[in-house]
């Protein structure tokens, strides 16, 4: 083999990118974990909401607005927590798509919704941000 053939071989070998990183798998696991943490956090919060409302001192709230009662506040709080539980489902979907290396835009959107789900206040958004970075770094591996 002469020197010119060796240079051609090296160029061909180096031009092939490695499309087999574990970033999508790690991102998928992080997104699924973020979704599960968020669902369990908000589910526990909804389950214990009645006991939490029993601890609220309505005299402080009535000083701000005389017409609000606890029965008027409960549906609003339940609706907010229900929305957060629904938002927590999307990171799980994004995690599955990331593990399968399919539909990168939906995986990214699911990661963004994972940031908005606020599970355990900072843990789920942090996991979702790390997963988004990993998905972006491995964007060439998605179909």
What band does 12 get if pLDDT is binned at 50, 70 and 90?
A: very low
Per the domain annotation, does 32 fall within a domain?
Answer: yes
- Could you tell me which residue, 61 or 75, shows the higher pLDDT? 75
Per the domain annotation, does 2 fall within a domain?
Answer: no
Assigned token pair, 37: 């943490």
The answer to whether 114 and 125 are in contact (CB under 8 A) is yes
Per the domain annotation, does 15 fall within a domain?
Answer: no
Quick one: pLDDT at residue 94? 96
Total structural domains within the chain: 1
Per the domain annotation, does 7 fall within a domain?
Answer: no
Closest CA to 141 of 107, 111, 104: 104
Closest CA to 130 of 37, 19, 31: 31
Per the domain annotation, does 18 fall within a domain?
Answer: no
What band does 18 get if pLDDT is binned at 50, 70 and 90?
A: low
Interval 83-134: pLDDT, tens: 999 999 999 999 999 999 999 999 999 999 999 888 777 899 999 999 999 9
CA distance 116 to 98: 19
Model confidence, pTM: 0.78
Per the domain annotation, does 13 fall within a domain?
Answer: no
Closest CA to 94 of 115, 80, 109, 83: 109
Per the domain annotation, does 5 fall within a domain?
Answer: no
Residue numbers of the domain that contains 48? 23-141
* Mean local confidence (pLDDT), 63-76: 79
Per the domain annotation, does 28 fall within a domain?
Answer: yes
């Amino acid at each position: 083999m002469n020197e010119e053939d060796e240079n051609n071989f090296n160029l061909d070998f180096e031009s092939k990118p490695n499309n087999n990183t574990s970033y999508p798998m790690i991102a998928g696991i992080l997104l699924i974990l973020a979704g599960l943490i968020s669902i369990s956090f908000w589910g526990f919060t909804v389950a214990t909401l009645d006991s939490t409302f029993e601890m609220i001192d309505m005299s402080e709230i009535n000083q701000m607005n005389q017409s609000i009662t606890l029965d008027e506040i409960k549906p609003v709080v339940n609706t907010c927590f229900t929305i957060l539980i629904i938002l927590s489902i999307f990171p799980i979907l994004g995690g599955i798509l990331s593990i399968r290396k399919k539909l990168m835009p939906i995986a990214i959107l699911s990661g963004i919704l994972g940031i908005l789900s606020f599970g355990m206040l900072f843990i789920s958004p942090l996991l979702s941000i790390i997963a988004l970075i990993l998905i972006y770094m491995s964007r060439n591996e998605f179909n």
